[in-house]
Every structure is written in structure tokens, then in C-alpha cells.
């Protein structure tokens, strides 16, 4: 078994990308696996400590755009959208967002079980 050094771990290209055709936007995009930091931020956005009934609605607000913003990247793997641009992205075609969202879910291991648990938390 190969014992990895810190340098080898940090140098590893471990964020696989997939090209997705988005006809509504007139081309293709790169969707990548999230970094650990991005995944934590996404999961934290689905959890609230408030016990207000409307908090569930807030957690799911723009959830597709949030995940898509964290996973759309350029050819070198750098994110295309900043956190502050999620609302603008959320105003794009639901069909296009759904297409990219489905790929982002698959690449990042976010399935129906995880989404349902977030809704019920």
C-alpha cells in the first residue's frame, strides 16, 4: 500500500468534473465534486437551529441554485459563481437548473435520502 505524504494529498486532483449540456443556456458547463469546505457550507445551509415552522421553507429556499453555484466550475476546476450570486442563478430556467442539479447530486453523493433528511430535520 502506498503511504501518502501531505504534499501528495494536497497535490491530488480529487475533484472530478463532468461536462453537461445545457441547451437552455446555449452550451455546456463543467460540474465538479464539491470541496470539503463547500460541502460543509451546503449542509449547514440545510440545517437551522430555529424551531419556527417557516425555517424548513427557508432551508430549502433556492436549494438547487445553491448546489449548482457550489459545483459549476471553469475548465481548471475553479467555481464560476460566488455565494452572493446564488439568487441571480436561482432566477434562471428551472429546467436548466434541474439538469445541472441532478449531475451535481450524483457527483457529490447527495441523494433523495439526504435531501429528505434535510427537509425533515
Q: What is the pLDDT of residues 63-88, one digit of tens each?
A: 999 999 999 999 999 999 999 999 99
Nearest CA to 93 among 30, 28, 25? 25
- β-sheet bridge partners, residue 73: 30, 79
With a CB cutoff of 8 Å and minimum separation 6, the contacts of 21 are: 27, 28
With a CB cutoff of 8 Å and minimum separation 6, the contacts of 66 are: 42, 45, 86
Provide the grid cell at 66: 445553491
Q: pTM here?
A: 0.81
Percent of residues, the chain, with pLDDT higher than 90: 74
Kindly report, residue by residue over 5-23, the tens digit of the pLDDT.
Answer: 999 999 999 999 999 999 9
Kindly report, residue by residue over 35-56, the tens digit of the pLDDT.
Answer: 999 999 999 988 865 545 555 5
Amino acid at each position: 500500500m502506498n503511504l501518502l505524504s501531505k504534499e501528495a494529498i494536497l497535490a491530488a486532483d480529487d475533484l472530478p468534473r463532468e461536462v453537461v449540456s445545457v441547451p437552455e443556456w446555449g452550451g455546456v458547463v463543467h460540474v465538479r465534486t464539491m470541496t470539503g469546505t463547500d460541502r460543509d457550507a451546503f449542509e449547514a445551509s440545510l440545517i437551522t437551529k430555529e424551531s419556527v415552522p417557516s425555517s424548513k421553507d427557508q432551508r430549502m429556499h433556492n436549494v438547487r441554485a445553491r448546489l449548482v453555484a457550489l459545483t459549476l466550475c471553469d475548465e481548471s476546476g475553479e467555481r464560476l459563481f460566488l455565494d452572493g450570486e446564488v439568487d441571480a442563478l436561482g432566477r434562471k430556467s428551472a429546467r436548466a437548473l434541474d439538469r445541472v442539479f441532478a449531475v451535481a447530486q450524483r457527483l457529490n453523493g447527495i441523494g433523495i435520502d439526504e435531501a429528505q433528511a434535510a427537509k425533515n430535520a
